[in-house]
Amino acid sequence: MSTPRIGVVGATGAVGTITLQLLAERRYEHVRAFASARSAGSTVPFGPGTLTVEEATPDALGAGDLDLCLFSVGTSASLELVPPAAEAGALCVDKSSAYRLVDGYPLVVPEVNGERALEALSRHRIVANPNCCTIPLTCVLGPLHEAAGLARARVATYQSVSGAGAQRMQQLQAEEPAAHDLVMDWSWEGDESDEEAKLRAETRKIMELPELPLSATCVRVPVMVGHSEAVWVELERPLSTEAAADLLRAAPGVRVLDLPSFPTPAAAAGTDDVLVGRVRRDTAAENGLALYLSCDNLRKGAALNAIQIAELLLAGAAERAAA
């Protein structure tokens, strides 16, 4: 499939805009932009030109003239729009929570469990893209677990307003009070937010550690782009801080910063790597390590990860067709 026909659904949103930018950078040519009825007929940037936005409807996406669809819409919209696209033959990567924790649907971070994406080729043609904090977290936990076994983890996230969409970004630009509310974007399940529960459940699924003890505290911070996470891990076997840092340096998609440099949202914004720093001993736990990371939540935390999944699917489909 050398020239796939690609649909970007949710093309006018914060993640959709980055998705189009990355596709243009990768020189994909046959790209169409889809969004809600109110955006239909408008234009969005694509490389040196623009694309006219089409209305995203089940009929439009199920017409059978797309090879790949990248969805950046809400859960209810995904549940309506993804199935007809997949049934019509398109490979679908969905960035909402609609399929992430549903049995039988791969939840994929290519650097960690990319082989799982290919399971969708012979089934429903749908792969889920994880939460914007789960992606960088598992990029870091993966190499540590492979080397020394992951016994438990604790994480505190500091999430930028872009994770809540374009409207919250506009509010921050206008210095509206709503943009400075730390937790208003999430619902609560007892004393835990749904964001914290998702982070634990998604990490367990990607790492294939269904009983992994993981505790999370998630807050929103008045930063435009870039999520940061403070991470504490306890390993099953001893691992020195030097060895841990070396493993992370060798990990795909990870860049280790040495003091006096350290990860910040500003440093991560506009880059594709997960920035990791302050790798140190956690003296409160046996075989414990602590570290800090930052990641562009619109790129690796959403759009880039989905495109990487899509490229795995396209390559896998091409191999099957050639076999």
Q: Write out pLDDT tens, residues 232-276.
A: 999 999 999 999 999 999 999 999 999 999 999 999 999 999 999
Predicted TM-score (pTM) of the model is: 0.94
Q: What per-residue confidence (pLDDT) applies to 17?
A: 95
3-state secondary structure of 144: helix
Q: Write out pLDDT tens, residues 111-134.
A: 999 999 999 998 899 999 999 999
CATH architecture of 6-130+302-322: 3-Layer(aba) Sandwich (3.40)
CATH architecture of 134-296: 2-Layer Sandwich (3.30)
227 belongs to the catalytic site: yes
**Residue 166 clears pLDDT 80, i.e. is over it:** no
Please report, to the nearest 10 degrees, the dihedral formed by the alpha carbons of residues 23, 303, 254, 240 taken in order. Answer: -160
Q: What per-residue confidence (pLDDT) applies to 79?
A: 97
132 belongs to the catalytic site: yes
Considering the candidates 92, 132, 133, 139, report the single residue annotated as catalytic: 132
Q: List, by residue range, all CATH 3.40.50.720 domains of the chain.
A: 6-130+302-322
Q: What per-residue confidence (pLDDT) applies to 72?
A: 96
Q: Write out pLDDT tens, residues 170-194.
A: 887 887 666 565 545 788 888 899 9
Q: What per-residue confidence (pLDDT) applies to 177?
A: 67
Alpha helices in the chain (DSSP H): 14-25, 58-61, 75-87, 110-113, 134-148, 166-173, 194-207, 241-250, 265-268, 304-322
Instruction: Report which of residues 323 and 183 the model is more confident about.
Output: 323
| Mean of the per-residue pLDDT values of the chain | 94
Stated length of the chain:
323
Q: φ and ψ at 51, to 5 degrees?
A: -120, 140
Considering the candidates 92, 139, 227, 295, report the single residue annotated as catalytic: 227
Q: What per-residue confidence (pLDDT) applies to 180?
A: 60
Q: What per-residue confidence (pLDDT) applies to 181?
A: 57
Q: φ and ψ at 34, to 5 degrees?
A: -125, 145
Answer yes or no: are the C-beta atoms of 11 and 20 closer than 8 Å: yes
Q: What per-residue confidence (pLDDT) applies to 169?
A: 78
The number of angstroms, rounded, from the C-alpha of 35 to the middle of its chain's C-alpha atoms is 20
Q: List, by residue range, all CATH 3.30.360.10 domains of the chain.
A: 134-296
Q: What per-residue confidence (pLDDT) applies to 184?
A: 59
Q: Write out pLDDT tens, residues 73-123.
A: 999 999 999 999 999 999 999 999 999 999 999 999 999 999 999 999 988
C-alpha to C-alpha distances, 54 to 37, 40, 132, nearest whole angstrom: 8, 5, 27
Tell me whether strands 31-35 and 43-46 are parallel, antiparallel or unpaired: unpaired
Only one residue has tokens 């860049």, namely 255
State the sign of the Cα–Cα–Cα–Cα dihedral 307, 66, 312, 126: positive
